[in-house]
Amino acid sequence: MNPVVAPLHPLFVAKITEVDLARQIDEATQRAIEGAMDTYAVCVLPDQHLADEEQIAFSRLYGSLEVEPEIGRKTGAGGRARRIASREIFDISNLDENGNIRGEQDARSSLLQITQLWHTDLSFREGSAKWSMLHAKAIPPAGGDTEYADARAAYDALPDAMKRRLVGLVAEHSAWHSTTQRGGYAPTEEERRSYPPARHKLVRRHPGSGRNALYIGSHASHIVGIPVEEGQALLAELIEFATQPQFVYRHKWQVGDLVIWDNRCTMHRATPFAAADHGRDMRRTTIIDKAQEALVG
């Protein structure tokens, strides 16, 4: 049966049903999902009970995958073994390598605090992220939702004077800038060297839809070529504008949900839950933006 695509929000986000990703999908289904992503930027596929290998195989249909860094796992940084074997799966959970709830002082717990800030995945890389796919294995009884913001609709709604102001502006993004805002994780020197800052235009053309989108978020530390405080004030103003209620969709997770989002034209953030009392097991694959990587490589 062909995929059924139904909008979930007036501006973006759709639900896709009549697809079983645990089975190999044909090219027509693959292209239908890609078309829905180009239009809606965020797609929810419910009832996808996938093994990690099946999630990886589906993700690879759309590009090469980023591997999860060893940040927070180094000796002396609270790290030990991996809970999930494949590094192509990002472990977005509050569980340790034995499946127990991590303490609040654990380095990985500290790092996950930054997911509660509006951000776009891998913006601190020159070759940043195309899509992310997050699969819900276990969810808490309350909280732990994810919010998404449409950066295309936000750009469209900007006053013309602001659009002119943004022409040609470039922001520097750093993984370590966001950690100073939430969580307080202190990276090792090796980690700092492994993830140097990256620079991206504040406005980028989204290739799938041809629309302009803001490219901002908590990893953006300053704007190149203007005073730091002025640039930070502009970034904060843009984030506040782009995350107004009319541009935001809040997803309440169910076990088996797979949500795909386009990092090139959205921001997202996690919402809090009782992390000391309940497990939340979410597994992410992240597709590298090869087009952007080619521009800066």
Residue 162, CA distances (Å) to 213, 218, 235 in order: 13, 20, 12
Start-to-end CA distance of the chain, whole Å, equals 41
Does pTM surpass 0.85?
yes
Decide: helix, strand or coil at residue 35: helix
Q: What's the confidence (pLDDT) of residue 78?
A: 43
Residue spans per domain, the chain: 4-296
Which position has the higher pLDDT, 107 or 74? 107
Q: Strand order in 198-201's β-sheet?
A: 198-201, 170-173, 220-223
Q: What are phi and psi of 269, to 5 degrees?
A: -155, 150
Most confidently predicted of 18-27, 71-80, 112-121 = 18-27
Q: Judging by DSSP bridges, how do beta strands 220-223 and 170-173 pair with one another?
A: antiparallel
To which CATH superfamily is domain 4-296 assigned? Clavaminate synthase-like (3.60.130.10)
Using the predicted structure, report yes or no on whether residue 180 has a pLDDT greater than 80: no
Collapsed DSSP state (helix, strand, coil) of residue 203: strand
pLDDT tens-place string over residues 197-209 = 999 999 999 999 9
Q: Where would I find the H helices in 88-216?
A: 107-112, 151-157, 160-166, 175-181, 189-194
In this structure, the dihedral spanned by the alpha carbons of residues 68, 69, 75 and 80, taken in order and rounded to 10 degrees, is: 0
Between CA 277 and CA 264 the distance in angstroms is 34
Instruction: Answer for the pair 80, 97: CB distance below 8 angstroms, yes or no.
Output: yes
Residue 229 CA: distances (Å) to CA of 15, 158, 222: 41, 22, 8
Both structure tokens of 182: 């939430």
The residues, ordered by sequence, that sit 6+ positions from 124 with a Cβ below 8 Å of its Cβ are 173, 174, 175, 195, 197, 198, 219
Three-state DSSP string of 56-113: HHHHHCCCCECCCCCCCCCCCCCCCCCCCCCCCCEEEECECCCCCECCCCCHHHHHHH
**What's residue 296's pLDDT?**
37
What is the tens place of the pLDDT at every residue in 100-117?
998 876 767 767 788 999
Q: What is the C-alpha separation between 53 and 60, in angstroms, rounded?
A: 11
Angle at 283 between CA 113 and CA 242, to 5 degrees: 55
pLDDT for res 151:
98
Least confident of 65-69, 83-87, 189-193, 248-252: 189-193
pLDDT confidence tier of residue 183, bands split at 50, 70 and 90: low
Phi-psi map region of 232: left, alpha, beta (phi>0 left; psi -120 to 50 alpha): alpha
Residue with tokens 């997803």: 251
For residue 143, pLDDT beyond 70: yes
Structure letter (DSSP) for residue 26: P
Average pLDDT, integer, range 70-78: 52
In this predicted structure, what is the pLDDT of residue 188?
Answer: 78
